[in-house]
């Protein structure tokens, strides 16, 4: 009978909030207002007003009529809910087979509502977890992008260093070859000088030999 007590309490709260007699009076009043709006609308169609003024009046009247209809329907639904609640409450008080079926049905509905609320809470939690996963995924993706840029920069610097080292090695090899060429040239110069001097030829009087000897005396390091 827990469901019966819950239903009874809910019915009492609804009845305390809305007075059935007030709603009945309000319904009659709304009906009267609807009739007056309809009469005013038909009467306005027969008047010879200006086109713009008449159109504006009709639009306002139709809007008022729609608002009144909406309010009337809402109040009617509230009254019908109260009537249904009162009928159920009276039926439950009879404590017969029909009232027990109603009580069991209401208890089942309350259980379903509780489960729905639990599932909604679980869905909200899963949505929050999904949002957290998406944020973490975005953070990891951004971190991976930054790491990739860092690796590319390191590879570029390493390649530049490697190219610089290869250029230095190449220059060192070329310098060694140049040194060997200079040494070989110096040896050849000494050999030629020895040949000319050993031949005991007066090279100073021969312009061509003199030019050769003077050329051979030049230091290869400054050539």
- Residue 124: per-residue pLDDT: 93
The answer to whether residue 126 scores a pLDDT higher than 90 is: yes
In this predicted model, which residue has the larger pLDDT, 137 or 5? 137
In this predicted model, which residue has the larger pLDDT, 87 or 130? 130
What's the rounded Cα separation, in Å, for the pair 76 and 26? Answer: 9
For 16-52, how does the pLDDT look when each residue is reduced to its tens digit (9 = 90+)? 444 555 666 666 676 676 677 666 666 655 554 455 5
For 54-111, how does the pLDDT look when each residue is reduced to its tens digit (9 = 90+)? 667 777 777 877 888 888 888 888 888 888 888 878 877 777 777 788 788 888 888 9
**Can you spell out the DSSP letters for 121-152?**
HHHHHHHHHHHHHHHHHHHHHHHHHHHHHHHH
In this predicted model, which residue has the larger pLDDT, 160 or 88? 160
pLDDT band at 134 (very low <50, low <70, confident <90, very high): very high
- Residue 60: per-residue pLDDT: 79
- Residue 218: per-residue pLDDT: 64
Average pLDDT of every residue of the chain: 76
CA 197-199-200 angle, to 5 degrees, is 70
Six-digit token string for 188: 């050849």
pLDDT band at 164 (very low <50, low <70, confident <90, very high): confident
Residues 209, 196 contacting (CB under 8 angstroms): yes
- Residue 14: per-residue pLDDT: 43
> What DSSP element (H or E) covers 183?
helix 97-198
pTM for this structure?
Answer: 0.36
> What DSSP element (H or E) covers 4?
helix 2-17
**Can you spell out the DSSP letters for 49-117?**
--HHHHHHHHHHHHHHHHHHHHHHHHHHHHHHHHHHHHHHHHHHHT-SHHHHHHHHHHHHHHHHHHHHH
């Amino acid at each position: 009978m827990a469901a019966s007590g819950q239903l009874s309490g809910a019915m009492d709260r609804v009845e305390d909030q809305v007075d059935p007699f007030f709603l009945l009076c309000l319904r009659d009043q709304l009906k009267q207002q609807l009739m007056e709006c309809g009469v005013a609308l038909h009467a306005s169609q027969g008047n010879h007003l200006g086109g713009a003024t008449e159109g504006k009046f009709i639009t306002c009247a139709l809007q008022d009529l729609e608002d009144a209809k909406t309010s009337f329907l809402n109040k009617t639904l509230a009254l019908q809910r109260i009537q249904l609640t009162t009928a159920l409450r009276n039926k439950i008080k009879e404590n017969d087979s029909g009232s027990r079926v109603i009580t069991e049905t209401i208890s089942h509905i309350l259980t379903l509502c509780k489960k729905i609320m639990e599932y909604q809470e679980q869905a909200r939690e899963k949505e929050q977890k999904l949002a957290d996963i998406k944020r973490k995924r975005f953070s990891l993706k951004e971190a991976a992008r930054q790491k990739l840029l860092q690796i590319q920069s390191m590879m570029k610097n390493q390649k530049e260093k490697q190219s610089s080292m290869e250029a230095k090695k190449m220059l060192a090899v070329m310098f060694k070859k140049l040194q060997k060429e200079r040494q070989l040239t110096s040896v050849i110069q000494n050999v030629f000088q020895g040949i000319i001097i050993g031949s005991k030829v007066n090279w100073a009087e021969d312009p061509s030999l003199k030019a050769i000897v003077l050329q051979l005396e030049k230091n290869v390091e400054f050539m």
